[in-house]
Structure 1
Amino acid sequence: MAVIPLVLAVTGSTAAQAAPATPAPTVDYVVIVGVPGLRWEDVSAQQTPTLWAMAERGSIGSLSVQSADQPTCPLDGWVTLGAGNRALWSAAPAAPPNPDNSSGACPDVPVDIERPDGIGAFLPDQRNVVRHNQERLPYGAVPGALAESVRCTVAVGTGAAVGAARPFGRVDRYEPQLPQNAADLLDECVLTMVGVGAVAATEPAARQAQARAADALLARVLAARPPESLVIVAGVSDTDDARRLHVVVAEGPGWERGWLTSASTGRDGYLQLVDLAPTALTATGRALPENVFSGHPARSVPGRPEKLDVAVTQPADADREAGAQRRIASWFFGVLAAVQFALAVAVVPLLRRARMPSAPVVSSSPRFGFHGLVRRASRSARPQPLAVPRPVVNVIEVLLVAAALAIPAALVADAVPWWRTDHPGLLFAAVTLALLAAGTAAVRLTPAYRQTLGPLAMVAAIAAVVVAADVVTGARLQLNGVAGYSALTGGRYAGLGRVGLGVLVAGTLLVAGCLAQRVRRPWRPYVVGIVGGAGVLLAGSPYLGADAVGAIALTAGVGIAAVISTGGWLTFSRLAWATLAGLVVTAGFALLDLSRPDAERDRLGRFLTALGDGTGGRAVQRAAASSVGALDSPLTVLALVGAVLVWFALLRPWGGLKRLFGIYPAIRAAMAGIATAAVIGGVLGGSGLDVAGAVAALTVPMAALASMRVLDHASDRTHPPVAPPSIEVVQPGADPVSGSDQRHEQGGGVRLAAKVLPWNPVDGAINT
C-alpha cells in the first residue's frame, strides 16, 4: 500500500532530462602544463600576464587534486594525471619519507631517470609503482595508462616524465628542461606534458616570484605550440599539508570563455585531476580505455562573466571557503558532540525523576460522609525522589531543541560569506549561534511547543525544509559548507551529502510520523508513504539530490515506518510489503541510472556496471576503505553518544521512550525507519557512521525531550478519571443508571453522578 507513493516518486524523477552537451571540436595536439601548487590567488594580470591572457581566451575552473592519499604531493599528482585514476608514487626504497620534515611540506623525493638513447627516457621505478597501485590500493589505477593510449608522448621535466611514462617505464621523448626552440619538440607527438616549476613558497613575495617564473616558461610553451592544439594549464598537486583547490585553464578550439566542468563533478567551474587524462584523449578524438579511468572528459559550458577579473573571484573564493571549511568543520562537529554528550549526562537524572508519585485518588464511598467525597493520598513503600524544579526542566528542554537545530543552523550559516574575513571561525560561530537562537526561540514561542510532540514536529520540519530548499536551489550551501561536503576530498560536488542525507532522513520520517499520528490508523501508512515518497524523490532525482544510494536507504526506512505505523510488531506480511517497496524503488533507480550515459551515472549505476564487467570487488573494497576512513570523524562520536543514551537510558523502564512508543505508535515507526535508513545509507554509501551521526544529532535530543514529556504525565490516569460529583434526586422506581428495577428509599432519595473527562491521546494531556 505504501509502495504506490514511492513508485510515483521514482517515476517523477525521470520527468526532467538535461539537454545534451555539445561536444568540442577535436584537435591535433594536447599540451598539458603542470604547475604544482598554483592557486587562483597567484594569478593576476600584473604577475602572470601570459596565464591571464590565456584564461581570458579559454575556459577556467577549480581543480581538485585528490590522489590515493592526502595531501597530494607533486609526484602523486603527476602519476595520478598519467593514470587517469587515483594513484600514488610509491617507489620504495627509492622514495623514503624525510624524517626531518616537520614543516608539513611535501618531501623532495628523487626520481631515477635513465636516458639510454638520449632521445627518450626510462624510469626503473615505474614497475614498482604500478605493482603498488594494483596490489595495495583499492582504486585499480594503472600508472601510464594515458601514455599507453596514444602513439607517442613528450615529457619536459622530472614530474612530466612521471606522468608521461608508460606502465613499463618508457618515456618516448624526454627533455629535462624546455629548449629555447621548442616548436619541433612540441610538434613531435600528439600528447605533451611540460613541468614549468612549482609555486610552493608560503611567503607572498616568494610565491609571486615563483608564479612569475612559471608564467615566463608558459609563454615559451604557447609561442611554440603546434596549430590546432589544446593547451591545459593545471596546478597538478598540493605542495604541503594545506590542501587547496588549484588552477585549471583550457584554451583551444571549442574552449572559449566558459566554465570547465565534467560528469564526475556535476558542478560548473569544477574539475578533478583524474578528469585531465580522459579530456586529453577525447579532445583528440580517441576512445577511452575500458575500466581504467575513473575521471570523465571535461567540457566547456557558458555562463562565465565577461570580465575575467570578476570571473576569477569565484574559483578564488571557492578555494578560500574550502580551505576554511576543512579547519572549521572538525571543531564544529567536535563541539557539537561534546555538547550533546553533556546534555545526555544531564538528561539521565531528569528521566529518573520525571515520573512523579500518583495524584490523590477520588473516592465516592458513602462511609466518608453525606457528599461521599474524600481525597486519599497514595502511599508508597519506598521514598519517592524529589521533583526537579520546573525552571531546570525548561532550560534542559530548550537546550535539547537547540542541539537538534545545530546542523540546520550551520547549513544556513554558509549563506553568509564568513570565510572572507580574517577570523572566519569567529564569524561562523557568531552567525550560527544567532541562527540557532532565532530557530530555538521560534520553536519555544509557538503554542504547539506545550504539546508532547510539538517540539519534535517543529524541529523535524525545520530541518527537512532547510535541506530540501538547499537541494532544490542547487545545493550551494552544502558545497564547501561546514555542514556539507568539501570539493577538496573529491567525493561529491553537487547534490545531497552525507550530513544532508542524515538530516533529510530524520526530518522527513519524523514529520511523517507526527502527521500520521493525527489521522486514523488505516490512513497512517499512506501518510508516511506520501511524505516519505517526497523525500525519496528529493534524494534520488539526478537533478536534485543525485544520491540513488541515499534514496534507496530512505526507501527502506519509509517502508518499515509505513507498515508498522498502525501499531504492533513487524510481522512477516508487513516485512514482505516493506521489502517489496524497497525492491521496486531500488529497481526503478537502477534502471534510471543505467539508462543514462556512462559519464553521468551515479554510484549505484557505476557499481552495477562494475559488477557486470567483473570489477565489483574493487568497488566494494573502496566502499569499505572509505567507511573505515570515515570512522575518525566527530560524527562517529555523535552516533555513539546517541546510541549509548538511547540504549542505556531512554529504553530503560524509567527512560520513557517505551512509553512514548506505546502512546504514539507512528513515532515508534518513524524512529525504526530512521535507524534502518541510517544503517543502510552508511553501509552502501561507504560513509561509516557519518549518516548515523547526523541522524543522531537531530533525533536523539528530540527523543529525550519527548520522553521527558510523557514521563511528566506518567501519573495521569489512563482510565476515565472521576469528576466532582453532581447531586441528582432519584424518584422511587427504576435505577436510571443500571436500568434495573431496584428501589431506593421510600419517598425518594439522593444519588451521586460522576462526569467523565476525555483523555487526548495526541498531546498526552487531559482535556478539562
Structure 2
Amino acid sequence: MTPLRNRLRRPRAWLRRLGVTRRRVRSWLPYLLVVLAAAASLAGLTVRPATGAAQARADYVIVAGAPGLRWDDLDPQRTPALWQQATKGSVGWLSVRSGHHTTCPVDGWLTLGAGNYAAWDTKRVTGGCPPLQPALTRPDDLGANLTEQRSIVDANAEQSPYGAVPGALAESVRCTVAVGPGAAVAAARPFGRVDRYEPVLPADPRTLLSSCVLSVVDLGTITGTGAARQAAVERADAALARVVAARPERSLVAVAGVSDTDTTSRLHVAIVEGPGWAGGWLTSAGTGRDGYLKLVDLAPTVLAALGRPQPEKLFTGRSVTSVPGRPADLAVAMGGRRDADRQAGAQQRVTGTFFTGLAAVQLLLFALAVPMLVRARRHAGPTGPAGVPRRWLAIAEPALIAAALAIPAALLADTVPWWRSDHPGLVFGLVTALFTAVGTVAVRISPRYGRTLWPLGAAAAVGAVVVGVDLLTGARLQLNGVAGYSTVLGNRYAGLGSVGLGVFVAGALVTAGCAAQWVRRPWRPVIVVLVGGVAVVMVGSPYLGADPVGAIAVTAGVCVAAAISTGGWLTFPRFAWAALAGLVVTIGFAVVDLRRPALERGSLGRFLSALGDGTGGPAVQRLAAANGQALLDSPLTLLAVVGALMLAFCRYSPWGGLNRLFGLHPALRAATAGTVVVTLIAGVLGGSALAVAGAAAAAAVPTAVLVALRVLDHAADRTRADGETDGPGGPGLAPPDPVLRRVGAR
C-alpha cells in the first residue's frame, strides 16, 4: 500500500513544485468555466440549419396578381380555378409591405417588379387607395411605354432608404409580357419599356403567354364588400381559368394578392403551382416560417425558377421554396385556428390598448408605492414613526407581482384562440387576467415567499421560462401575438421579437443575479456567465431566437454583469476584460457569418458586407428611420420611461431603497446593469428604439420596487440577545431571511 500511495502523491508534489496549489486551482477555476461558457456560446451561434434543396426549374413563369385578394375570398364553388390551383400547388400567407406606409396597388405592382421595397410616390393615403391609372403609351403594336418610370426610378434612388430599382426583375430576363395596367407597372424595365403589352387578356392567350419566359397578368383589383367584392373575385377567377388553360408546358403559375386596397393592412393570397410545388407550404429564408412569404420574395423566386442569376445587391427578398406539412383540406389549412389574417388583424387592434393600459397600471402602482417607500424609510430609525401597515403590503405586493407577470401572461393567452371571438379584446383581457392571477397566486403561496428576493427572482424566472419554452417549441405564441410580432408589418416572422427579448433577457439576468447570491463571491461570475451563455445561444441561434444582433447585445450585457457580480464598481480593468470577452464572441460570430454565401448570411453578415463594400448607407438610414418611428409610435416607449423614472427614484432619492438593496445584493446590481446594456444595444441596433427596454422594465421594475420596499421596511429590525427580533410587526417577528438579520444588525 505504501508504494502505491507514494506514486499517487507524486503528481501532487510535482504540481506543488510548479506553484500549482489547491487554492490557486480554486481561484482560477471560475475563470476557466467562464471561458468555456463563452466558447460554448460561440459554438452554439455558429450552427445554422442546412439550406433546403432547390426547386424544380421551369421554362416559363406566369405571375397572376390580384390586389386585395385574401384567403377568405376563395370558395370551391364560387372560385373554382383559384381553389383548384391552391389545392394542387403550395400556398402561404403573403405580407405585402412596400416602400410606402400603405401598400396600394400601384406600390404593390412596383415592388413586385423591383424585388425590393419600392414606392410610387410619397403621398399620404387616407381611406381607400386611389385607382390604378398609370400613364401608358403605345409607340408600336407590340409593347408599351410607362412614361413615369424614369422619374419613379430616380425618386426611389434619391428618397427611399431601401435602394430599390423599379424594373430590376424585367431587366433580368430577355423578354416580358404584361396584361393589364398593373402588370405593366411590374413588367416595365427601368427606362419604362414593356416588351409585350395587352390591355386585356385575349380570348385565346396561348400564343401571348408562350412568347416570353415571364408573363405578368393583372387579374383585377379586389375591393369593397358584399356582392360587389364577390363579383370582382369571380371575374379574377374566370381570368385565371383562361390563363391556366392556355399556359405553356413546363410552366409555373404564381397567384398573389399583391397589395392592400385601403389603410387596413392584411395578409393576402400566395399560390405557386407547377412541377415540384405540389401540396406544400410556401416559405423563404427571409421569413424563416413555413406558410409565410413577403412580396419582395416573388422576384427572386421567378428568376430561381427560370434558372437566371439575381441582380447583385438589388433584390431584398429571398427565393421561395415549398416544404411539406400542409393539411390536404385547404379550408383546414387556411381557416379556423390557422387563419393568420384574422389573428394578425385582431392582434393589431389589441396590442396598443394592452401596452398602453399596462403602462397606466404600472404608473398608478408606482405612484402608490412612493409614499409607502417614504414611510418605510422614515421608520428605519429607532425612534421613527410606525412602519407601513401590514394590510397595505398585503395588497401592494400581489399587485406588483401581477404587474410584472402581465406580459408573460399575455404571451400565454395566445394558447387560446381569443381572436376568433366576436369581442376579441375582451376575451384576450379575461384570459390574460386569468393567467396573471394564476402566476401571482403561485408566487404568493410558495413557502419561500418570505425570502427577500423571492418575488423578484420568481417573477423573473417565470418570464424567462415562458419565453424560453415558446422558443423551444417554435415561437408559436409570439407569431401574431399581442406580446409577440405581427406578420402584417413584415419585420419578423419567426424567432424572438423585441417584447420577448426584453422579457427573456431581464428574466434570465435577474434570475442569475438572485441565484448568484447563494454562492461564494468567486463563483458568482460563473453563475451569471452560465445562465447568460444559455441566453446568448437561445437568442442568437437560427433554430430558436434567430436574432444575431440581440445575441451580440446579450453577450455585452452578460460580460458587464459578470464583471461586477462580486461587488465593487465597473473599473477599467473589469470593463476591459468584459469588452474583450464580448468582442471575441461578436467578432467570431461575424467572421463565421461573412464566410457563408451571400444568400445564406444572416442580418449581421449582410449589414457588415454592405458596410464593407460602401453600400451600407441605406441600411443605416433604414435603421435610424425605424428607431425614430418605434420611439414615437410604440406604447412600449411609455413603459420604458415609466420604469426608468421609478428606478431613478429608488436609486437616487433618500427613500428609494435601491442603494441598500444593491449593497446587500451586488449580483442583483450587476444583473440590473447588464439588463440595461442589453436592452439599449438591442433596441438601437435592432431598430426598435426603447421597445426592448420597455418590455424588460415592465417585467422587472415592479418586483424590484417590491423588494426595495421590503428591505426598507425591515431596516429597523433589531436582533435581541435571546435570538428574537423586534421588528415592525412587534416583538418576536423574525425577518423573512438571514439577509434581513444583517440589515437589522447594521
Report if TM-score (shorter chain) is over 0.5: yes
| 1:669 paired residue number | 670
Per the alignment, do residues 758 and 75 of structure 1 end up closer, same or farther by CA in structure 2, a change over 3 Å counting? closer
Identify which range, 421-430 or 265-274, moves more after superposition. 421-430
The one-letter amino acid of 2:352's match is S
The one-letter amino acid of 2:238's match is A
Preserved contact between residue 532 and residue 558 of structure 1 (Cα < 8 Å): yes
Distance across 2 between alignment mates of 1:66 and 1:706:
45
Cα deviations by residue, 1:10-40 (Å, 9 ceiling, x for unpaired):
213445x534322122111111000111111
Preserved contact between residue 463 and residue 503 of structure 1 (Cα < 8 Å): yes
Preserved contact between residue 130 and residue 167 of structure 1 (Cα < 8 Å): yes
Preserved contact between residue 30 and residue 284 of structure 1 (Cα < 8 Å): yes
Which secondary structure state, in structure 1, belongs to the residue aligned with residue 577 of structure 2? helix
| 1:5 paired residue number | 37
Shift of 1:609: 1.7
Identify which range, 124-133 or 287-296, moves more after superposition. 124-133
Which secondary structure state, in structure 2, belongs to the residue aligned with residue 518 of structure 1? coil
Shift of 1:595: 4.1
Distance across 2 between alignment mates of 1:60 and 1:724:
72
Candidates 337, 341, 347, aligned match of 2:363: 341
| 2:310 paired residue number | 288
Preserved contact between residue 356 and residue 712 of structure 1 (Cα < 8 Å): no
The one-letter amino acid of 2:456's match is L
The one-letter amino acid of 2:36's match is I
Cα deviations by residue, 1:300-344 (Å, 9 ceiling, x for unpaired):
111112233322327961111011111111111111111111112
Cα deviations by residue, 1:452-509 (Å, 9 ceiling, x for unpaired):
1010010011000000000010000001000000101111111111011101110010
Cα deviations by residue, 1:683-725 (Å, 9 ceiling, x for unpaired):
11111110011111012112111110110112235xx764489
Which secondary structure state, in structure 1, belongs to the residue aligned with residue 449 of structure 2? helix
Preserved contact between residue 157 and residue 175 of structure 1 (Cα < 8 Å): yes
**Aligned residue runs from structure 1 range 339-738, under 5 A:** 339-357=361-379, 378=383, 387-631=387-631, 632-716=633-717, 722-723=721-722
| 1:150 paired residue number | 173
Identify which range, 441-450 or 244-253, moves more after superposition. 441-450
Which secondary structure state, in structure 1, belongs to the residue aligned with residue 675 of structure 2? helix
2:141 corresponds to 1:110:
no
Distance across 1 between alignment mates of 2:714 and 2:220:
72
The one-letter amino acid of 1:712's match is D
Distance across 1 between alignment mates of 2:359 and 2:628:
20
| 1:173 paired residue number | 196
Preserved contact between residue 356 and residue 714 of structure 1 (Cα < 8 Å): no
| 2:269 paired residue number | 247
| 1:184 paired residue number | 207
Count of residue pairs brought into register by the alignment: 702
Preserved contact between residue 3 and residue 580 of structure 1 (Cα < 8 Å): no
| 1:268 paired residue number | 290
| 2:68 paired residue number | 37
Question: Scaled by the length of structure 1, what TM-score is found?
Answer: 0.89
Per the alignment, do residues 289 and 764 of structure 1 end up closer, same or farther by CA in structure 2, a change over 3 Å counting? farther
| 1:751 paired residue number | none
2:322 corresponds to 1:300:
yes
Which secondary structure state, in structure 1, belongs to the residue aligned with residue 494 of structure 2? coil
The one-letter amino acid of 1:716's match is D
Shift of 1:181: 1.6
Distance across 1 between alignment mates of 2:206 and 2:723:
105
| 1:52 paired residue number | 83
Q: Which has the larger radius of gyration?
A: 1
Which secondary structure state, in structure 2, belongs to the residue aligned with residue 249 of structure 1? strand
Shift of 1:156: 0.8
Per the alignment, do residues 325 and 758 of structure 1 end up closer, same or farther by CA in structure 2, a change over 3 Å counting? closer
The one-letter amino acid of 1:458's match is A
Distance across 2 between alignment mates of 1:761 and 1:166:
73
Question: Scaled by the length of structure 2, what TM-score is found?
Answer: 0.91
Per the alignment, do residues 115 and 433 of structure 1 end up closer, same or farther by CA in structure 2, a change over 3 Å counting? same
Preserved contact between residue 48 and residue 212 of structure 1 (Cα < 8 Å): yes
Which secondary structure state, in structure 1, belongs to the residue aligned with residue 309 of structure 2? coil
Which secondary structure state, in structure 2, belongs to the residue aligned with residue 414 of structure 1? helix
Q: Indicate the structure with greater helix content.
A: 2
Distance across 1 between alignment mates of 2:498 and 2:160:
24
Cα deviations by residue, 1:592-626 (Å, 9 ceiling, x for unpaired):
43344433332211111212222111111111111
2:164 corresponds to 1:133:
no
2:101 corresponds to 1:70:
yes
Per the alignment, do residues 316 and 237 of structure 1 end up closer, same or farther by CA in structure 2, a change over 3 Å counting? farther
Candidates 247, 255, 266, aligned match of 1:225: 247
Which secondary structure state, in structure 2, belongs to the residue aligned with residue 447 of structure 1? coil
Preserved contact between residue 62 and residue 315 of structure 1 (Cα < 8 Å): no
Per the alignment, do residues 321 and 597 of structure 1 end up closer, same or farther by CA in structure 2, a change over 3 Å counting? farther
Preserved contact between residue 83 and residue 146 of structure 1 (Cα < 8 Å): yes
Preserved contact between residue 713 and residue 764 of structure 1 (Cα < 8 Å): no
Preserved contact between residue 418 and residue 428 of structure 2 (Cα < 8 Å): yes
In structure 2, the gaps of 5 or more residues are 1-30, 725-734
Shift of 1:677: 0.6
Shift of 1:168: 1.2
Which secondary structure state, in structure 1, belongs to the residue aligned with residue 255 of structure 2? strand
| 2:727 paired residue number | none
Identify which range, 290-299 or 176-185, moves more after superposition. 176-185
Preserved contact between residue 503 and residue 698 of structure 1 (Cα < 8 Å): yes
Q: Percent identity?
A: 60
Shift of 1:581: 1.4
Per the alignment, do residues 389 and 116 of structure 1 end up closer, same or farther by CA in structure 2, a change over 3 Å counting? same
